[in-house]
Structure 1
């Protein structure tokens, strides 16, 4: 069967992945101080980070319209869509509504919409699984079952250098943010099975927090011999390499990749943030 993989633009991909898997990315948009920035090939990370750091306001993301998704459902017989966690964005609901509308006119089409319950490289790993299974010739039904199982077993953790976005969107009070900043405390965060975010631990200083994240991954990763480690960084490759080395000296992952964050992931991670999925 001919197939197409669609991801919203929070799916962070290397250029090699884009060329190999030919993933169609649907851009979300970001509004900051009255300006709308689209998370597409024209996104300028450094320019956006500068705007983010200067603004007292919290940036807001907008999900793609159902019509945008529907246009990409044309063509191939099997369609697979991977979106940002439904707890963080309306992208999943938009893609799901598009599926329902499209199937009213094309009832024989195969369309699967996956709520990643994650973000960034969590989505990337799901896309990679779909691609691998499709290239192996597995049926649509098999792929959906296997990918849902993979998604349910996946973990995502992250450490942020800058907590301003959390403060601006109300996840931290101003007092908490000031205290955390003054004491140089960096929380280690993770996604829950439902796709929400919780705090897993904290350390004083970014390198200690990244090492703690590696230790927490070692504790809950289980067998990783057949797993791929995904690492996304927001404009700090050196830090991503440090995390990769800290994890790989503890665990024998089959493979790994590092990618810089695109627009939506940059908005969440902020400068220097590191996201890990496995």
Structure 2
């Protein structure tokens, strides 16, 4: 069976998947003051971070329209999968669900499934990679859905950011009890719940110690880590990401690990220097 995997642009695809005709990205967009920025191949991270740093206002994001998802569903693929940002963090998932309903009214023969990643960034990437693995193994559509949903139940997302201000100001930290004083250089170690909301795992003084604490949490919460692939996304800090990768390999020897730079939406929330890991 032919298949197609649609990923909203918060999921960073490695270069090999960007070139793979099975994949398509549906873009979100951002606004920084009077600048409207589309999160696609034209996104300039350095320019975006410069605009954010110069603005007194918090950047805002907009999800794709149902119409854009309907366009992505078109084509000859018999099995279509969409992977979206956590439904708790963005309207992207709801847009995709509505688009499926509209599309199926006229194309009832096509099989479509919308995966709520309950994550973001490389959590979406890993989900898309799992879908492709299942399809390439020849699984029927229903088994792909069941297998990937079970995979999502077992996946964890972690992150350490220089600043949580964008998340806080955009209402993405609902339920987080209290954030530590930035004047003390205390950096929270954050994670995503199985429902896709954000919570605090711990904290440490300084980014390096926070990253080491995050790596410890990864080992504690991933008992089968030697059989899993990890994704690391960084916002303008490749050396930091490679240091984290090296430490994870030394401690846990996972099945695989890849590093990508954050695209637009992830850059907006991770801010300069942020590290996101999904496993």
For 1:124-203, what aligned pairs fall within 5 Å after superposition?
124-169=125-170, 171=173, 180-203=181-204
**Does the 8 Å contact 2:60/2:170 carry over to 1?**
no
Deviation at 1:169, TM superposition (A): 3.3
CA contact (8 A) 1:30 1:62 kept: yes
Aligned-pair CA distance for 1:180: 2.7
Task: State TM-score, norm by structure 1.
Answer: 0.95
Residue 121 in 1 paired to residue 126 in 2?
A: no
Counterpart contact for 1:78–1:111, Cα < 8 Å:
yes
1:107 Cα deviation from its structure 2 partner? 1.1
Preserved contact between residue 118 and residue 195 of structure 2 (Cα < 8 Å): yes
Deviation at 1:118, TM superposition (A): 0.2
3-state secondary structure, aligned to 1:250: helix
1:11 equivalent in structure 2? 11
Match of 2:49 in 1: 49
Secondary structure of 1:106 counterpart: coil
Distance 1:129 1:56, change over 3 A: same
Which residue does 2:237 correspond to in 1? 236
Give the secondary-structure state (helix, strand or coil) at the position aligned to 2:30: strand
CA deviations on 1:205-226 (whole Å, 9 max, x unpaired) are 1100000000111111111222
Deviation at 1:24, TM superposition (A): 0.2
* Structure 1 stretches of 4+ moved >6 Å: none
Stretch deviating more after TM superposition (160-169 or 51-60): 160-169
Distance 1:19 1:204 in 2: 41
Task: Answer yes or no: is 1:112 the counterpart of 2:106.
Answer: no
Structure 2 runs not aligned, ≥5 long: none
CA distance in structure 2 between the partners assigned to 1:249 and 1:96 by the alignment: 41
Partners of 1:70 and 1:38 in 2: CA distance = 19
Q: CA deviation at 1:167?
A: 4.9
CA contact (8 A) 1:28 1:63 kept: yes
SS at match of 1:105: coil
Please tell me whether the aligned partners of residues 187 and 205 of structure 2 are also in contact (alpha carbons under 8 angstroms). Answer: yes
Is the alpha carbon distance of 1:168 and 1:53 closer, same or farther for their aligned partners in structure 2, counting shifts above 3 Å?
A: farther
Hey, what's the Cα distance between the residues in 2 that align with 1:139 and 1:169?
A: 40
Q: TM-score, normalised by structure 2?
A: 0.94
Deviation at 1:248, TM superposition (A): 1.8
SS of match in other structure, 1:114: strand
Deviation at 1:21, TM superposition (A): 6.1
What SS class does the counterpart of residue 265 from structure 1 fall into?
helix
Check whether the contact 1:56–1:168 (CA below 8 A) recurs between aligned residues: no
5+ residue gaps, structure 1, are none
Aligned residues: 274
> Could you tell me whether the CA contact under 8 Å between 1:231 and 1:274 is conserved in 2?
yes
Superposition deviation, residue 182 in structure 1: 1.6
Output one character per residue of 1:221-255: Cα deviation in whole Å (capped at 9) or x when no partner. Answer: 11122210110000101111111122222212101
Judged with a 3 Å threshold, the aligned counterparts in structure 2 of structure 1 residues 249 and 125 are, in CA distance, closer, same or farther, namely same
- Superposition RMSD in Å: 1.5
Aligned partners of 1:57 and 1:168 also within 8 Å? no
2:63 matched residue in structure 1: 63
